[in-house]
A and B are shown apart, each in its own frame.
Chain A
Amino acid sequence: MANEKNKWIDAVGKLITLTQERKLLWRSTSNYNNSYEADYGGKSLRLYLAHDGDERIPRLAVMDPQTGVEWEFPYSEASEHLIEAVRYQLVGVGEFLDELFTQAV
């Protein structure tokens, strides 16, 4: 059980690395639902916030673009970190900081 879960954590960890290294480019699909998409290995990745009681937890799914069939990754803290990395990339925080530090004297 733990080993099975670890495999998914490894996978999400790899997606975080690819996102932070800008080898995986995400796009925002909705302004209100915090929903993001990316393409990798011929599949579409979908990351969104879903309601779970009072909480909103990130869900990561991989989808076959031809059939539209979707499979959801099991939840782990790594999914929370992935959504943070996606937002960092989409907002362009890195570029903003570079700009800020080159301007400020």
Chain B
Amino acid sequence: MSGLPTIVNNVANRETFYIIGNIFSIASFILSIIVLWNIRKLRNAYRLRARGPSLLRALSKSASSLSKFMNAYGDFLPQITEELARVAVKLRSLKRKLSGDPKRSAKRALVYIDQCAVSVQNEEQVRLVYVEIVKVIEELKDHQKDLDWEM
């Protein structure tokens, strides 16, 4: 060892290996997080690809029913309540599979639904909820089209 240059001696000591080992373990930890995050993203994208179209169809059907019930709002209060509950279930399911802007839209619509009490006095609020649902549907349709390109 006495033949080695001083710099090699300094690098090859035990402390240096500890430091290098620590750096590698931190780097692999960060890498694992990135891989896990990507796996989660991919899993959600596949779930959305598989379940998205049927959830979207169900949401469209509910929005259409809501719109029809609102032709005679006062006569269909229980049906409107029921349809909004159905929409909330679908949106919760979709929210878990979404990310970014579509997720925020789904969350916003859910807040609107949760805060909306269906009653004769609240017709305007229910109409606002309906419009929010249509907005989410349109945003999800665009998102589904983007997914067709990505996968």
Contact = CB atoms under 8 A, between A and B. Distances in A.
Interface in A83-97: 84-85, 88, 93-94, 97
B135 A6 contact: yes
A76 interface: yes
Contacts of B135: 5-6, 9
A54 interface: no
Specify the main secondary structure of chain A where it touches its partner.
helix
A94 B67 contact: no
Contacts of B67: 16, 81, 84-85
B71 interface: yes
Nearest to A2: B139
Contacts of A97: 72
Given A9-B131, A13-B131, A84-B64, A77 B137 contact: yes
B130 A13 contact: yes
Interface in A2-54: 2, 5-6, 9-10, 13, 16-17, 20
A85 B71 contact: yes
A76 B67 CA distance: 14
Interface residues of B, number: 20
A97 B75 CA distance: 11
A6 B142 CA distance: 13
Contacts of B101: 2
Interface residues of A, number: 20
Contact of A76 (B70, B130, B134): B134
Interface in B100-116: 101, 105
B60 A77 contact: yes
Given A81-B63, A81-B64, A13 B71 contact: no
A79 to B, nearest CB: 10
Closest 8 CB pairs of A and B: A81-B67, A13-B131, A88-B71, A78-B134, A6-B135, A76-B138, A20-B71, A9-B135
Given A77-B64, A85-B71, 6 more contacts: A2-B139, A9-B131, A17-B127, A77-B138, A88-B68, A94-B72
24 contacts: A2-B101, A2-B105, A2-B139, A2-B142, A5-B135, A10-B131, A13-B130, A13-B134, A16-B67, A16-B70, A17-B127, A20-B70, A20-B71, A20-B73, A76-B134, A77-B137, A81-B134, A84-B67, A85-B71, A88-B68, A88-B71, A93-B71, A94-B71, A97-B72
